[in-house]
A and B are shown apart, each in its own frame.
Chain A
Amino acid sequence: MSDTNVQRRQFLKTSVGAAAVAIAPGMLLFDMAHGKSEAVSSKVRWGMLIDTANCADGCNDCVTACNKENGLSGGLSPTDSQWIRKVELKDMRSGREVSLPMMCQHCEHPPCVDVCPTGASFKRADGIVLVDKHICIGCRYCMMACPYKARSFVHEPLHDQKPDVPRGKGTVESCTMCVHRVDNGQQPACAEACPNKSILFGNLNDPDSEISRKIRTVASTQVRADLGLNTGIRYQGI
């Protein structure tokens, strides 16, 4: 091989390398700047494991974080939206008290989806149950069907909604598992806010995820497991 040929080959190699180095970060930034362009898949199933032993009685941090993240008023009147609420349980015989957060359980077989007459209530491929408010007519069948009382109806016109969380009068809404955060690779606001780390968020379909490993090793239950809804939220210690 002649000397020129070798030099040419060397030159081509270095220029391709330099081009790759120059373009790669740009492509990465472009991807980040322009959001996620692939659809969610059923290879993932998002879920939560809530450790009630660590959930402090009287602590309301998850509720406050949810209200702040999603732009809810935080009011407690019957017409105010509540996406997550703290529930105190007491066994009257033993006197044992348990405190836990209760929200949409993101069922595998959601009754709210079964009863929706318009297809507004739906389950995403990755297991998150949502309301498409563009299609919702506000009939509130889903609110009646939900065994967890997880859904709320917006009664009054709203102003200054969060850009990531559109909400409006005449539609039903509930916990979205902070879908806008999850799609960006973050955790739901409640899981992040819990001071005792008692809300563990993760992928139930990945056997190596922290949540799957914990579910395999500790006893956890689904609320109203008798209904066979296979909820995505599981509780430990109830």
Chain B
Amino acid sequence: MRLLAALMIFLCIPVAWAGQTYTPKLDIGKGGQCVEDPQSMRKNHMHRLKHQRDETVHKGIRDDKYSLKNCIECHASTRDDSVIGRADSFCEGCHRYEAVKIDCFECHSSKRKTVLGKRE
């Protein structure tokens, strides 16, 4: 019986460790209600963006629900109005953690348009 209890405690230790793993702390910008639930966005945002980009470039469908601009409009940091550039930036935070390179912002603006508009 004592052996079983010891075994149970031993098995629980890694679970407790796993609970404390590092997860990126993100500056979510304005935040609020997203276009889909967060879990589905975490998993599928790249597919939605890719689908939307082809629709927009080739067919001129500028429905902005799943557009990159719409993402940035809400999620750019309220401090520097960008989704990249810092360890806790909305896009870069997760992408650094997952070690996935983001190509988007080599061409696309990472800043929200409303701020860019004001600056001009």
Specify the chain A residue showing the minimal Cβ separation from B53: A134
Cβ contacts A1-19/B at 8 Å (1 or 0 each): 0000000000000000000
Q: For the complex, is B98 an interface residue (Cβ under 8 Å from A)? A: no
Specify the chain B residue showing the minimal Cβ separation from A120: B57
Q: For the complex, is B2 an interface residue (Cβ under 8 Å from A)? A: no
B60 with A39: CB separation less than 8 A: yes
Q: Which of B61, B108, B111, B116 contacts A166 (CB under 8 A)?
A: B108
A163 with B108: CB separation less than 8 A: yes
Taking the closest CB of chain A, its distance from the CB of B120, in whole angstroms, is 9
- Chain B residue numbers with a CB within 8 Å of A155 are none
Knowing that A34-B64, A124-B58 touch, tell me 5 more A-B residue pairs with CB under 8 angstroms: A39-B60, A157-B106, A161-B107, A163-B72, A163-B112
- Chain A residue numbers with a CB within 8 Å of B67 are 35
The residues in B between 62 and 77 inclusive whose CB is less than 8 angstroms from any CB of A are 62-65, 67, 69, 72
Q: Which of A124, A133, A160, A164 contacts B60 (CB under 8 A)?
A: A124
Q: How many residues of B contact A (CB 8 A)?
A: 22
How distant is the Cα of A24 from the Cα of B62 in the complex, in angstroms? 21
A35 with B53: CB separation less than 8 A: no
- Chain B residue numbers with a CB within 8 Å of A180 are 62
- Chain A residue numbers with a CB within 8 Å of B62 are 35-37, 180, 183-184
- Chain A residue numbers with a CB within 8 Å of B109 are 160-163, 166
Q: For the complex, is A130 an interface residue (Cβ under 8 Å from B)? A: yes
The residues in A between 101 and 155 inclusive whose CB is less than 8 angstroms from any CB of B are 122, 124-126, 130, 132-134
Q: How many residues of A contact B (CB 8 A)?
A: 31
Specify the chain B residue showing the minimal Cβ separation from A157: B106
Q: For the complex, is B86 an interface residue (Cβ under 8 Å from A)? A: no
3 tightest CB-CB pairs across the interface, nearest first?
A168-B107, A39-B59, A40-B60
Q: For the complex, is A38 an interface residue (Cβ under 8 Å from B)? A: yes
How distant is the Cα of A133 from the Cα of B104 in the complex, in angstroms? 11
Taking the closest CB of chain B, its distance from the CB of A152, in whole angstroms, is 15
Q: For the complex, is B113 an interface residue (Cβ under 8 Å from A)? A: yes
- Chain B residue numbers with a CB within 8 Å of A125 are 59-60
Specify the chain B residue showing the minimal Cβ separation from A162: B109
Q: For the complex, is A179 an interface residue (Cβ under 8 Å from B)? A: yes
- Chain B residue numbers with a CB within 8 Å of A133 are 107
Cβ contacts A29-66/B at 8 Å (1 or 0 each): 00000111111100000000000000000000000000
Q: Which of B57, B72, B111 contacts A134 (CB under 8 A)?
A: B57
Instruction: Please judge, given known A-B contacts A163-B69, A163-B109, A163-B116, whether A40 and B59 are in contact too, CB under 8 Å.
Output: yes
B107 with A167: CB separation less than 8 A: yes
Q: Which of A34, A39, A122, A132 contacts B65 (CB under 8 A)?
A: A34
How distant is the Cα of A196 from the Cα of B107 in the complex, in angstroms? 34
- Chain B residue numbers with a CB within 8 Å of A126 are 60
20 chain-A/chain-B pairs, Cβ below 8 angstroms: A34-B63, A34-B64, A36-B60, A36-B61, A37-B61, A38-B61, A40-B60, A124-B59, A130-B57, A132-B57, A133-B107, A134-B53, A160-B109, A161-B107, A163-B69, A163-B72, A163-B109, A163-B116, A164-B113, A171-B107
- Chain A residue numbers with a CB within 8 Å of B106 are 157, 168-169
